[in-house]
Amino acid sequence: MKDRNPWISVIPVIIGVFMVMIDVSILNVALPRIAEEFNATASDVQWILNAYTITLVVLLVLAGKIGDMVSRNYYYSAGMAVFTIGSYLCAKSWSILPFIAFRAFQAIGGAIMLGNSLAIMVELFPPGKRGTAMGVNAILISSAFSLGPIIGGWLTTHLSWHWVFYINIPVGIIGVVCGVVLLPPLGKKIKEPIDFVGLALLTIGLGFLTLALIKGQDWGWDSQKTIASFIIAFPYLFAFIVREFTYHHPLLDVNLFKIRNFSIGILGIFFMFTGVTAALFILPFFLQGIKGLTAEESGYWLIAIPIMNSFVAPVAGRLSDMINPKYTMCIGPLFFILGLLMLGDVDINVGFWEMFLILSFLGIGLGLVVSPSFNVIMSAIPPQKAGMANGVVQTINSLGRTMGVAIGGVILTGKMNDLVPGYGNQLPDPGKIMMLKTLSIRGFSEPLVLMVNAFMESLHHLFVQLVILPICSLFVISLFLSGREHLMRMKVRERVVKKLK
């Protein structure tokens, strides 16, 4: 391992993380074609997404824990193989129910990769050189969300929806081969039994919590189904915490949360991920519904976020190894707040470059927070629990992204209902707007004017309300994060590594 260049070894990790994260967004633009081919109901189509998300969330902690117990290099490659096989099965689905099952199978491989990616980076890169690697990880996450609609739109338009999955097969095969060849022996730091009781409690709790967050908008937040899901989730999660405090070999060592930088770093990026996901969820409805862009075009309009994040994240990550990471992590939310406030005043006639500038502030803000946070989080925990910690981080981030979609929908449609009585919880998709435009051409312009004005006012209201999220991130980071402790820990571990050499 000493003779290997960590940047060569990390290639399969980069491939795997990008595949998993882009799969969250690349499928959205293909769903109408899939629904048409399978004659699927709206509920069926939603479960194509939900099966993946729920399976991913409930397995991340377990996947990270197992990664601490086995040869993580082969384990990660096996996860990539499972994801690739799942992609092939999804593309070959003959009806909607097998499709949903194959999506859940695909998510098992995704959980293995995502639940161990940060832990592998911690093992590959010595203290003092991890920041840049964490920056690359942050780039992969933000880029995947923005590039997914572009790639998915192009594949669906010019080939077919099947290619949204077929594209993973050659990439996955290359990734598996790279994993076997390039990854050095990793993991096997602990050997203990798996807490299956804790796993069952966590699965039920997280499963119903994620279900409530995903379906609450459709069911209604005061509906019996949503309330019942929350009522089931919280007692099971509480029972899981009690179990982990009292069991000798916990699935999740809750003492990790006593480590200040671990907990504060997670909170800081949780608020940021929730905010950026809410923005990325709603903006396509503005770009496609109000401005009349195609799905592929709207993806290009959002490209500023991954571009700016790609420039900023590695630099911010590298700086977090050299100076107090609290500085960049506090500046990031300020950029993010500025971007949200500018979106809160955006005009319907906004041009591409004006939108690029506005979204650049979101990308810069995200990059300044996320990569230093990953570095601080993974440096704060014992090395033998890196996989477990990795699983926790990715689980909470996934919940943040799920909450972002829920929050964006709730705030926007809530305001729409204030302005258009009886509007419901529908978002102004291109089909509805086109129908209203047709009515306007025929002389009935009032419905279109009402819809557009109400949506724009609701959009402005949403982005102003979202400002509270980066403010919360700024608050917890500025008051509670210990940047000096992180730097001291880095210096101590650097000395240890030098002595071992």
DSSP code string of 31-77: HHHHHHHHT--HHHHHHHHHHHHHHHHHHHHHHHHHHTTSBHHHHHH
The pLDDT confidence band at residue 334, using thresholds 50, 70 and 90, is: very high
Average pLDDT, the chain: 82
Does 409 fall in a domain?
yes
Answer whether residue 268 shows pLDDT above 70. Answer: yes
In the chain the first and final C-alpha atoms are separated, in Å, by 12
Whether pLDDT at 443 is above 70: no
Per-residue confidence at 32, pLDDT binned at 50, 70, 90?
low
CB atoms within 10 A of CB 256: 18
User: Residues 6 or more apart from 276 whose CB is under 8 A from it?
Assistant: 142, 145, 305, 336, 362, 366, 404
Domain match, 407 and 266 both:
yes
Distance CA 116, CA 14 (A): 12
How many Cα atoms are found within 13 Å in the side-chain-facing hemisphere of 90?
32
In this structure, of 10-24, 231-245, 323-337, the range with the lowest mean pLDDT score is: 10-24
Spatial contact of 393 and 118, defined as CB atoms under 8 Å apart: yes
- Do 323 and 201 lie in one domain? The reply is no
pLDDT given at position 27: 76
Give yes or no: residues 28 and 115 share one domain: yes
Residue 1: which pLDDT band, with cuts at 50, 70 and 90?
A: very low
Establish if 172 belongs to a structural domain: yes
Q: Are residues 343 and 443 in the same domain?
A: yes
Flag whether 350 is in a domain. Answer: yes
407 in Cβ contact with 216 (< 8 Å): no
Dihedral sign for Cα atoms in the order 317, 473, 457, 410: positive
Residue 451 CB partners (closer than 8 Å, separation 6+): 420, 428, 432, 433, 436
Can you say whether the dihedral through the CA atoms of 220, 427, 99, 173 is positive or negative? negative
Give residue 444's pLDDT band: very low, low, confident or very high (50, 70, 90). low
For 384-394, letters b (16+ CB in 10 Å) and e give ebbbbbbbbbb
pLDDT at 219 over 90: no
User: Greater confidence, 252 or 431?
Assistant: 252
Range with the poorest average pLDDT among 46-50, 73-77, 274-278, 361-365:
46-50
How far apart CA 390 and CA 64 sit, in angstroms, is 6
Most confident range, picked from 50-59, 248-257, 345-354: 345-354
In this predicted structure, the answer to whether residue 359 has a pLDDT above a threshold of 50 is yes
Q: What is the pLDDT of residue 471?
A: 95
258 and 246 in one domain? no
Q: What is the arithmetic mean of pLDDT over 67-71?
A: 83
What is d(CA 42, CA 271) in angstroms, rounded to the nearest whole number? 30
Q: Taking a C-beta distance cutoff of 8 angstroms, is the pair 430, 292 a contact?
A: yes
Taking Cα atoms as reference points, which of 189, 187, 236, 192 lies closest to residue 211?
236
pLDDT category at 77 given cuts 50, 70, 90 is: very high
Report which of residues 251 and 231 the model is more confident about: 231
Proportion of the chain above pLDDT 90, given as a percent: 21
Question: What's residue 433's pLDDT?
Answer: 65
Q: Report, as an integer, the average pLDDT of 209-236.
A: 86
For residue 381, what pLDDT is reported?
82
Percent of the chain scoring above 70 in pLDDT? 87
- Statement: residue 66 has pLDDT above 90: no
d(CA 404, CA 51): 18
Residue 176 inside a domain? The answer is yes
CB 146 within 8 A of CB 366: no
The more confident residue out of 199 and 130 is 199
pLDDT of residue 475: 94
Indicate the residue type of 2.
Answer: K
Evaluate whether residue 16 is within a structural domain: yes
What local confidence, expressed as pLDDT, does residue 354 receive?
93
> Of 69, 183, 175, which Cα lies nearest the Cα of 120?
183
Higher pLDDT, 247 or 475: 475
Same domain, 242 and 275: no
C-alpha span between 216 and 411 (Å, rounded): 13
Q: Which of 263-277, 314-328, 338-352, 358-372 has the lowest mean pLDDT?
A: 314-328
- In this prediction, residues 132-158 reach a mean pLDDT of 75
Q: Which of 126, 183, 187, 173 is nearest to 11 (CA)?
A: 183
Contact call for residues 466 and 278 (beta carbons, < 8 A): yes
Q: Of 218, 250, 282, which residue constitutes the final position of a domain?
A: 250
Same-domain pairing of 141 and 267:
yes
User: What's the pLDDT at 472?
Assistant: 94
Domain-embedded: residue 40: yes
- DSSP H helical ranges for 302-382: 304-319, 325-343, 352-380
Asked if 212 and 316 sit in the same domain, the reply is no
Specify if 496 maps to a domain. yes
pLDDT at residue 140, rounded to an integer:
76
Decide which of 333 and 94 is more confident: 333
Task: Check whether residue 214 and residue 74 sit in a common domain.
Answer: no
Of 30-39, 123-132, 154-163, 361-370, the range with the highest mean pLDDT is: 361-370
The pLDDT-based confidence of 330 (bands split at 50, 70, 90) is very high
- Whether 1 maps to a domain, the answer reads no
Are 156 and 232 in a shared domain?
no
Q: Is the pLDDT of residue 235 over 80?
A: yes
Q: Which of 229, 250, 271 is the last residue in one of the domains?
A: 250
pLDDT > 60? residue 496: no
What integer pLDDT is reported at residue 89 of this predicted model? 94
Residue 123 has pLDDT above 70, yes or no: yes
Average pLDDT score over residue span 177-198: 81
Q: What pLDDT shows up at residue 323?
A: 82
Question: Highest-confidence range of 307-316, 415-424, 459-468, by mean pLDDT?
Answer: 459-468
Is the pLDDT assigned to residue 287 strictly greater than 90? Answer: no
pTM over 0.85: no
Same structural domain for residues 255 and 218? no
Amino acid, single-letter form, for residue 408: G
Residues 243 and 290 in one domain: no
Question: Quick one: which of 23, 56, 24 has its CA closest to 203?
Answer: 56
CATH number at residue 372: 1.20.1250.20
Sign of CA dihedral 304, 307, 313, 316: negative
* DSSP letter string, 370-418: HHHHHHHHHHHS-GGGHHHHHHHHHHHHHHHHHHHHHHHHHHHHHHHHH
Average pLDDT (212-231) is: 85
- What pLDDT is attached to residue 392? 83
Distance in angstroms (rounded) separating the CA atoms of residues 302 and 156? 19
436 pLDDT band, cuts 50/70/90, is low
What is the number of structural domains in the chain?
A: 2
Instruction: Write out the residue range of the structural domain in which residue 131 sits.
Output: 6-194+251-500
Picking from 235, 250, 265, the residue at the C-terminal end of a domain is 250
φ and ψ at 71, to 5 degrees? -70, 100
Position 133, amino acid: A
**Listed ranges 42-56, 268-282, 425-439, 461-475; the one with the highest mean pLDDT:** 461-475
pLDDT at 38 exceeding the cut of 70: yes
